Amino acid sequence: MTRITLARIVIAVFTLLLLSVIVNARSMAQQPTDQCLVCHESIGDKPSRLFKHDIHLKKGITCAGCHGGDSSKDDMELAMNAKAGFIGVPRGDRISEVCAHCHADVSTMKSFGSSLRTDEYQLLRGSVHGKYATEGKQRIAQCTTCHGAHGIVSPKDPSSSVYPTRVVAKCASCHSNAAYMQAYNPALPVDQLEKYRTSVHGEKNAHGDAKVAECASCHGSHDIRPAKDAKSSVYSVNIPQTCATCHADAAYMKPYGIPTDQYEKYAKSVHGIALLEKHDTGAPACNSCHGNHGATPPGVQSISKVCGTCHALNAELFASSSHKKVFDERKIPECESCHSNHLVEHATRSLLGVATGATCARCHTPQDNSHGYTVAKEMRSLMDSLSEVDSSAGSVLSQAEQKGMEVSEATFKLRDARQALMESRTVVHSFDFGKFKTVVDKGLSTATASREEGDRAIHEYYVRRIGLGIATLFMTFLAVSLFLVIRRMERKK
Quick: pLDDT tens for 130-188: 999 988 889 999 999 999 999 999 999 999 999 999 999 999 999 999 999 999 999 99
Kindly state whether residue 178 falls inside one of the protein's structural domains: no
Kindly state whether residue 449 falls inside one of the protein's structural domains: yes
Kindly state whether residue 391 falls inside one of the protein's structural domains: yes
Q: How many CB atoms lie within 10 A of CB 205?
A: 24
Closest CA to 161 of 140, 143, 147, 179: 147
Q: What is the pTM of this model?
A: 0.79
Q: What is the pLDDT at residue 29? A: 41
Q: How many CB atoms lie within 10 A of CB 347?
A: 17
Kindly state whether residue 36 falls inside one of the protein's structural domains: no
Whether residue 28 is predicted with pLDDT greater than 60 in this model: the reply is no
Q: Whole-angstrom Cα distance, residue 388 to residue 403?
A: 23
Whether residue 16 is predicted with pLDDT greater than 70 in this model: the reply is no
Quick one: CA dihedral 229, 234, 240, 246, positive or negative? positive
pLDDT band at 13 (very low <50, low <70, confident <90, very high): low
Report the DSSP beta bridge partners of residue 132. 139
Whether residue 369 is predicted with pLDDT greater than 80 in this model: the reply is no
Q: Whole-angstrom Cα distance, residue 431 to residue 429?
A: 5
Reported as a single tens digit per residue, the pLDDT across 208-229 is: 999 999 999 999 999 999 999 9
Q: What is the pLDDT at residue 420? A: 94
pLDDT band at 367 (very low <50, low <70, confident <90, very high): confident
Q: Decide which of 301 and 252 is more confident.
A: 252
Kindly state whether residue 320 falls inside one of the protein's structural domains: no
Q: What is the pLDDT at residue 23? A: 42
Q: What is the pLDDT at residue 2? A: 61
Q: State the DSSP code for 256.
A: G
**CA-based R_g, the chain, Å:** 39
**Domain housing 406:** 357-492
Kindly state whether residue 237 falls inside one of the protein's structural domains: no
Which of 84-93, 267-276, 330-339 has the largest mean confidence?
Answer: 267-276
pLDDT band at 333 (very low <50, low <70, confident <90, very high): confident
Kindly state whether residue 26 falls inside one of the protein's structural domains: no
Q: What is the pLDDT at residue 305? A: 84
Reported as a single tens digit per residue, the pLDDT across 47-96 is: 999 999 999 999 999 999 999 999 988 888 888 999 889 999 999 999 99
State which H helix or E strand residue 157 sits in: none
Q: Percentage of residues in the chain with pLDDT exceeding 90? A: 70
Q: Decide which of 10 and 470 is more confident.
A: 470
pLDDT band at 5 (very low <50, low <70, confident <90, very high): low
CB-based contacts of 373: which residues, under 8 Å, 6+ apart? 354, 360, 364, 365, 366
Please tell me the least confidently modeled range out of 31-45, 111-125, 131-145, 378-392: 31-45
Between the CA of residue 329 and those of 302, 324, 333, 368, what are the distances in Å?
Answer: 15, 9, 11, 18
Q: What is the pLDDT at residue 487? A: 84
Report the DSSP beta bridge partners of residue 139. 132
Q: Whole-angstrom Cα distance, residue 41 to residue 27?
A: 23
CA 88 to chain centre: 45
For helices 312-319 and 322-330, the axis angle rounded to 10 degrees is: 80
Reported as a single tens digit per residue, the pLDDT across 392-432 is: 999 999 999 999 999 999 999 999 999 999 999 999 999 99
* Mean pLDDT of the chain, nearest integer: 89
Mean per-residue pLDDT for 1-27?
54
User: What is the count of structural domains for the chain?
Assistant: 1
Kindly state whether residue 435 falls inside one of the protein's structural domains: yes
Reported as a single tens digit per residue, the pLDDT across 122-141 is: 999 999 999 999 888 899 99
Reported as a single tens digit per residue, the pLDDT across 290-332 is: 989 988 887 776 788 889 989 999 999 999 998 999 998 888 8
Whether residue 24 is predicted with pLDDT greater than 80 in this model: the reply is no
